[in-house]
Structure 1
């Protein structure tokens, strides 16, 4: 275990003392060791103190997977602030909204030379603008305010506490066994919790983190085909993009650990990787920002027998399925403090201490849990409820399909029509009629798609996940009224 001080910044500094001049972070044009990381974090904390940061004050943190971004995060914590990560490529309106909602008047931008929206631009790593916001009891002892994707409305600010997230990191480490000196590749962005827990565990364990500013399949394969990278963290959409590149270079094999999370990993996609890289350790992880991430684990040694499930809950995690609709609910001591300035949505997110995930699930005979779909994504077609995840899993089994994404769109006759976007594999010859005929033996008639669309890739959100909301908007924009 890597237990220590409750403040995550202090824990990172303790880790720096143990690791000394070992490489901590590697980027495209810069590498820093643990001693340099600690010095940079300390300087940032001192600058924030000179700016008269108040206890538990929100601080905007500009990030884009640059090597000193995490030192800025550590500096915020050492100074007693609460980090609000915002990507350097964000729209000006997005930055303005985060600043307004958090009341942040302090900005940390460890790479002021990088192009950013005007409100993130600064000549120095620490900038102060305006006056401190009034104190909020919810932020006492908080480490982060992480804003969710907001696909169904305005993003919510998830408040995570130092002590609870520290506890979750210890639990994740017990499940995944991070090792000192190990090198991990991270193409996940630091605006999302998946990227954060991976980064923190690598640093707390004394490993080396290779940061990718942007995921590019050929570049990622070059990293993985080398002998140094022993772990990589990916979402399934990245695996889909990487697959044809890896298959075209059969000699570029990877034998390390592949940590997958962020969205369901289709069994068909997992099997393709198991065939392509049989020596690789493929594992699936399920969790939410609101629960501190990583609540269920499907470890590599169990993957082949349980592909398509999310495995079993980690230590200290309880779950139940609601009797009405089978919603997966989780009770954990590492849950969020709440949504920022939103007591009513916070209360609605819990049922007597159980967090309502919004995911529909079922328990398998072997005790593992399998996701069925999202309650908000259910398609109501002609009086029937259809899970888009079920359709995607079926069509992903087709040997010529690289990816699938299903949504419902308004239809005057059926209520909602069922639309399916297919990404064909290279060289495939697919059309709607042939796919429907293939699916007739695998799906009930009322679940067959009304429309099948084809594209070179799935639409993605900022987190790299397949984005149903974007697909639905594109379809509705092309569908004539009354259809």
Structure 2
């Protein structure tokens, strides 16, 4: 593989170029580019000592720790493939991903710092078998699938480095700029924002956690040039300000350094965009559309695009082609609703060990996004909703079937159905209707405690309802749409809600 398309080569070159500059600025500690590279070299050497093979998947524990990206770089320098896993993920989920990847090596630099030991942990005995889709791969990013089982999206070095260049041509990351990093780097949005900041010679500013009032204070009192957020974070920030000056005394409505607020992961409403633009009038709010499978960032809606056509996705990224296709595969006429499909040189290698799923995700060279869209008279794309059943809660994608499978393991549950319903703060919240076993009662607190051992916290139901049966449609099948209508129409009363 050409070194100029290898993320390890590109990031190590940036470390050498910006040697003494600050790469990571975290609470209570900083890392220079030199220190970042030294930590990565230690990971590389430890992996090679364990016999890490070319294109071998290696798990990397992440939680926005200052050294996490050194783990990425070390794996790439050793020729491995990064599989990011959050440190707080339930053990059952981590085991499931390890079974899928077959990984025998894991990197955890935070644990290494605490224990003063090796950054590499051996979690298996035998090297995983070679797979064609892992050839020259950079990452395997696990994301929810339509079957409820997380699927591993394999991202190639060549494609992702090309997409990073295309993104940078739109966003313009520059030397010395400071990016406030609130996004989890198990997700593609957080990964590309981090990599482009470092490759451009900037500094990643890491808060301990996302707290809306602290975010507002940082933006107004620190030199922050760029921040990446999901719309849920913007809504939470505005909610704090609506409580009055006492809720955020450190915020001054002037952020002269702030150039860009990047947002994506869920739809940005026109109302929310206007509120944020009024709050930061000198800052560009850039709304981004893309999927993990298309290596993110296929469309950019800049302020001028929003003013000209507020409902469109904006400008297509370089070399990205798109079309809208009707039910029988024909290209839709302007105004006709169909599925948005995307083609570019920057698509995934495929789903790990899922050849049938990979094949079904494409129509020839076109990736089927599963999103409904329509072309307007000017050829602009307007999203019309999701054809898939994924719930977008605070920018996190949640599959109903995955949540249902976990709930059905609870002893008192006979059957259940999960849907998403609109929410002003999170975009959507997760609702579940449970049919209990005969003679059993459903208690929300023990159920949630049980689910915490099987699901990430953001996948827990926000509202729990109990009924004698699931709603069915005309064909006799359980009907999610009918349940959603019952919830939004107030026909059901929840046991309890959660914040």
What TM-score bracket applies, with the shorter chain setting the length?
A: 0.7 to 0.9
Say yes or no: does 1:209 pair with 2:199.
no
Q: Return the offset for 1:218.
A: 1.3
Structure 1 residues 459-470: aligned runs within 5 Å: 470=461
What is the match of residue 260 of structure 2?
A: 257
Q: Return the offset for 1:352.
A: 0.5
Say yes or no: does 1:48 pair with 2:32.
no
What is the match of residue 9 of structure 1?
A: 8
Structure 1 residues 323-338: aligned runs within 5 Å: 323-324=326-327, 326-338=338-350
Structure 1 residues 175-214: aligned runs within 5 Å: 175-214=170-209
Alignment match of 1:162 (pick from 153, 157, 163): 157
Q: Return the offset for 1:135.
A: 1.1
Q: Return the offset for 1:108.
A: 0.3
Inter-partner Cα distance in structure 2 for 1:167 and 1:422 = 36
8 Å contact from structure 1 (residues 283, 303) kept in 2: no
Say yes or no: does 1:364 pair with 2:376.
yes
8 Å contact from structure 1 (residues 189, 463) kept in 2: no
Inter-partner Cα distance in structure 2 for 1:290 and 1:17 = 31
Q: Return the offset for 1:290.
A: 0.3
What is the match of residue 236 of structure 1?
A: 231
8 Å contact from structure 1 (residues 26, 32) kept in 2: yes
Rate the CA distance shift 1:224–1:45 in 2: closer, same or farther, 3 A: same
8 Å contact from structure 2 (residues 232, 425) kept in 1: no
Say yes or no: does 1:128 pair with 2:131.
no
Q: Return the offset for 1:246.
A: 3.5
Structure 1 residues 383-394: aligned runs within 5 Å: none
Inter-partner Cα distance in structure 1 for 2:121 and 2:202 = 31
What is the match of residue 271 of structure 1?
A: 274
TM-score scaled by length of structure 1? 0.77
Q: Return the offset for 1:462.
A: 6.0
8 Å contact from structure 1 (residues 180, 205) kept in 2: yes
Rate the CA distance shift 1:263–1:133 in 2: closer, same or farther, 3 A: same
8 Å contact from structure 1 (residues 146, 191) kept in 2: yes
Rate the CA distance shift 1:482–1:190 in 2: closer, same or farther, 3 A: closer
Structure 1 residues 426-465: aligned runs within 5 Å: none
Rate the CA distance shift 1:141–1:419 in 2: closer, same or farther, 3 A: closer
Rate the CA distance shift 1:208–1:421 in 2: closer, same or farther, 3 A: same
Q: Return the offset for 1:48.
A: 0.5
Inter-partner Cα distance in structure 2 for 1:208 and 1:423 = 33
Rate the CA distance shift 1:417–1:237 in 2: closer, same or farther, 3 A: closer
Say yes or no: does 1:104 pair with 2:98.
no
Number of residue pairs aligned between Structure 1 and Structure 2: 403
8 Å contact from structure 2 (residues 23, 203) kept in 1: yes
In structure 2, the gaps of 5 or more residues are 246-250, 328-336, 394-399, 401-416, 427-454, 472-499
8 Å contact from structure 1 (residues 312, 369) kept in 2: no
SS in 2 for 1:209: strand
What is the match of residue 22 of structure 1?
A: 21
Rate the CA distance shift 1:152–1:219 in 2: closer, same or farther, 3 A: farther
Inter-partner Cα distance in structure 2 for 1:301 and 1:109 = 43
Structure 1 residues 353-432: aligned runs within 5 Å: 353-377=365-389, 420-423=421-424
Rate the CA distance shift 1:70–1:317 in 2: closer, same or farther, 3 A: same
TM-score scaled by length of structure 2? 0.75
8 Å contact from structure 1 (residues 312, 367) kept in 2: no
Rate the CA distance shift 1:463–1:233 in 2: closer, same or farther, 3 A: farther
Inter-partner Cα distance in structure 1 for 2:95 and 2:113 = 19
Rate the CA distance shift 1:301–1:33 in 2: closer, same or farther, 3 A: farther
Q: Return the offset for 1:269.
A: 0.7
Q: Return the offset for 1:128.
A: 2.0
Say yes or no: does 1:316 pair with 2:315.
no
Q: Return the offset for 1:25.
A: 0.8
8 Å contact from structure 2 (residues 7, 161) kept in 1: yes
What is the match of residue 139 of structure 1?
A: 134
What is the match of residue 395 of structure 1?
A: none
Inter-partner Cα distance in structure 2 for 1:348 and 1:151 = 12
Inter-partner Cα distance in structure 2 for 1:167 and 1:313 = 15
8 Å contact from structure 2 (residues 301, 313) kept in 1: yes
8 Å contact from structure 2 (residues 67, 109) kept in 1: yes
Alignment match of 1:344 (pick from 352, 356, 361): 356
Q: Return the offset for 1:24.
A: 0.4
8 Å contact from structure 2 (residues 146, 388) kept in 1: no
SS in 1 for 2:82: strand
Deviation string, structure 1 residues 234-266 (Cα, Å, up to 9, x no partner): 011111111122443473433431001111111
Inter-partner Cα distance in structure 2 for 1:199 and 1:213 = 16
Say yes or no: does 1:86 pair with 2:96.
no
8 Å contact from structure 2 (residues 253, 280) kept in 1: no
